[in-house]
Amino acid sequence: MLNLFRTYINRRTLISVRNFYNSIIDPIFSVFSPKMNPNDSPEPEFDPRVPSVPVSYPIKTLEDLKLRTYFDSFHFQFNKASVPLRRSGVDGVSLPNRPRIMVCHDMAGGYTDDKWVQAGSNADAYSIWHWYLMDVFIYFSHSLVTLPPPGWVNAAHKHGVKVLGTFIVEWDEGKLIADQFLASTTVADMYAERLSELAVALGFDGWLINMEVSLDIEKIPIMKEFVSHLTQVMHSSVPGSLVIWYDSVTTEGQLNWQNQLNNYNKPFFDICDGIFTNYSWTEDYPKLSAAVAGDRKFDVYMGIDVFGRGTYGGGQWTANVALDVIKKDDVSAAIFAPGWVYETKQPPDFQTAQNRWWSLVEKSWGITQSYPKVLPFYSNFDRGNSYHFSIDGKSVSDAPWNNLSNQSFQPVLEFSGDTTTETIQASVDLKEASYSGGGNITFKGALEDGAYLKKRIFQGELHMGDSPVYFTYSVKSDGSSMIGLSLEFTNTINMENRTSVLLASSGDTLLTMNQFSSKFDSVIMPRHVKKTSSGWVIQESSVTMVGSTLTNIHAVCYKTQSKLTSSSEYYSILGHISIKSSPQNMSFPPASEWNVKSQNVNWKSGSVSLKIQWTLNSGVSPGFSKYNVYVENEEGKLVKSSNFLGVASVEAFYISDLLVPPGISSLKFIIQACGSGGASQELVDSPFLRLQVEEGGKNARICNCGAEAVIQTSWRKDNSGRRCFYGCINKGPNCKFLGWVDDQMCGCKESIHNHKLEEKNRKLKTYLGLSWIMFVCILVYRFYSFQ
């Protein structure tokens, strides 16, 4: 009974206190925040049917779910995942038969920087890159139907991780919602089918069901029918899909978290794919749950709250304590809110703290995902956010951005935590040069002539055939710093038989052989070397290893032996790695085989907004992983300028408020297809759309007084930060408001200011919230002391 009471305090009481706290704090922030100018036009309400910069958003009402209004949204097409789930398991779709790790992402209510489907402007946005340590990812928020933004789905699927949305019913409003969708088995089945339809249409892999309300006992059979029917329709529509039950309401209809699998929640477990237990369990609960689950013990996911709210082991930097217990008792783990590292600004910086925290998971459970497994394989080490963007070694944008759909296969870098003993440090440095996208692996440190150091990049399971396999990688380095690739193979028949191959960097063959022939079973010099004008060196080698499996790829850092320099300083950047079965690049359909059209064209003074859509004339799905989008400003037959606009993950791209320079007669939008092996179509052969500039688009925004508009800023109506708008340069009393500048298109310092302001407010709220939590803890302590 004491444990149940503590659970109740942990979950319901503390959340109620939080809501009470917010009701006090929010008006205070409203009073002291600067007010928006009353003369400014109000921001329009979000209408998903109106064309605008594509965003991800949840479904908040049963009515919208029932009427399928999401499919009528302008944003629907842009929210479809474009990367299929990488095949795994015995049948290619099932979860592995071992203890698994499920990660539940919960951050600031969801849909923050990740909601911008085509890209946000925050290079420091939260992301996850340790996909090789998990099996399932859940996108969580407190809205009724949480639909995962496509960036998360694309990044997870690339690494073989399944993605679930969330259906949650909570609070007094949730009780009314539960009564509606559990009105009868027919109604419950209809809503289950609506959820399945959304998952299929958007390309994710199932649902977490979280019923945080008490139910009348007569509703329990209908609730079970809802879970069972959802599981069945998901399995029939998406093989390998998952429906997970959260440990909340019991079979008696009570909202009573069990923190384990037992008779009060097992009937729900029996009709779906697993249970996510609450996190206030004790040390023996994983073992007890395994006994109850029997041969389905790996479907029991013991909850761990990384914030440490009543969780076993304390969460935070000791979350591995709970992981060790779960692993010992041979069940699975569910890690809730790993974004704690980001939200609480753990020192010294997010990347270091993130790598350190996930290294605890790796030490406890080991690596669960391996790649490369199939060809072609390509990685530019892009994390889905950066301060610049490059294509084929050429920088095309210096603007900060975030877009998880751009995330490439992530390197499996080891974290030591001790920079004083590391001779060379390897990290993804978002501010260093990139060969492609916004990522790289930067190697910095000291190395003496004749010495070398290996750094793990990938841990794979690539079965080699009879034909050569071609490896290509790009390097930018200083002086005598060199990078090669170490490939480790195991024999398919005799796993103990291992072979090491060094793909050496270009240079003096004799010196290279003398340095490494005794350290590797084989040393291969590049068959082709190309140098770019921007300083990148692209090297290609081929390997034939019949009957072997590629298991590990390491970067080999070494220095050329030279009498001209005695410096031990080492600095190199690895831009990308490509592995394919042919030295030839893939072929792309020529421009004549594409149909490119414009929709929702809206000319304003000096700008245009439009949607571009493209398909193959044959009607066959193009199947490309992404598309780079450019615009050329044409004056007659002359191209006055060319600009990179962004990356599309579907066969459509929306352009908002694109400024049209004076004198431009037409805009040529170019769609550059990109293959999964890293190749991209030549721009001269790419499909395009030419749009003639209308008279309304040739003029700058003009005020009533005749002056031109300039970009200005004002406070948002909800005081959440400043927003850019077009206002008259004269700022007179009769000058009119000339329209909002889209946040994602402006790129001015005010956008950055908004992020900083939000962070300051969040930090202040955190401090005040901790004071409230301490107050509640004192009350609880006093309560126990009188028992």
Between CA 472 and CA 521 the distance in angstroms is 20
709, containing H or E segment: strand 709-715
Average pLDDT, the chain: 89
Between CA 502 and CA 519 the distance in angstroms is 9
Q: Is the peptide bond before 267 cis (omega within 30 degrees of 0)?
A: no
The size of the chain, in residues, is 787
Asked if pLDDT for residue 743 goes beyond 70, the answer is: no
Q: Are strands 242-246 and 469-477 parallel, antiparallel or unpaired?
A: unpaired
Asked if pLDDT for residue 231 goes beyond 90, the answer is: yes
pLDDT of residue 730: 65
Q: How many CA atoms lie within 13 A of 598 on its CB side?
A: 17
Residues of the chain above pLDDT 70, percent = 82
Between CA 596 and CA 645 the distance in angstroms is 17
- Contacts with 177 (C-beta within 8 Å, 6 or more apart), sequence order: 62, 144, 169
pLDDT of residue 2: 46
pLDDT of residue 765: 62
pLDDT of residue 687: 97
pLDDT of residue 562: 64
Between CA 273 and CA 300 the distance in angstroms is 9
Q: Is 111 left (phi over 0), alpha (psi -120 to 50) or beta?
A: left
pLDDT of residue 68: 98
Between CA 375 and CA 462 the distance in angstroms is 8
Q: What is the pLDDT of residues 760-770, one digit of tens each?
A: 565 566 566 66
Cβ(505)–Cβ(484) under 8 Å?
yes
DSSP-derived secondary structure letter, 13: I
Average pLDDT over residues 628-632: 97
Asked if pLDDT for residue 217 goes beyond 90, the answer is: yes
Strand partners, 598: 612
Average pLDDT over residues 228-236: 98
Q: Extract the tokens encoding 211.
A: 């019923």
Between CA 661 and CA 711 the distance in angstroms is 16
pLDDT of residue 243: 98
Average pLDDT over residues 350-365: 97
What is the torsional sign of CA 699, 704, 705, 708? negative
Least confident of 88-102, 516-530, 718-732: 718-732
Considering only CA atoms, give the Rg of the chain. 28
pLDDT of residue 759: 55
Least confident of 285-299, 326-340, 522-536, 744-758: 744-758
| pLDDT band for position 34 (cuts 50, 70, 90) | very low
Asked if pLDDT for residue 577 goes beyond 60, the answer is: yes
Q: Extract the tokens encoding 99.
A: 């203890």
Q: Regarding predicted confidence, which is higher, 775 or 786? A: 775
pLDDT of residue 787: 46
pLDDT of residue 92: 78
Between CA 720 and CA 108 the distance in angstroms is 14
Asked if pLDDT for residue 7 goes beyond 90, the answer is: no
Between CA 569 and CA 563 the distance in angstroms is 15
559, containing H or E segment: strand 548-559
pLDDT of residue 140: 98
Average pLDDT over residues 309-328: 97
Q: What is the pLDDT of residues 176-199, one digit of tens each?
A: 999 999 999 999 999 999 999 999
DSSP-derived secondary structure letter, 701: -
| pLDDT band for position 750 (cuts 50, 70, 90) | very low
Of the candidates 660, 682, 663, which has an alpha carbon nearest to the alpha carbon of residue 673? 682
Asked if pLDDT for residue 4 goes beyond 50, the answer is: no
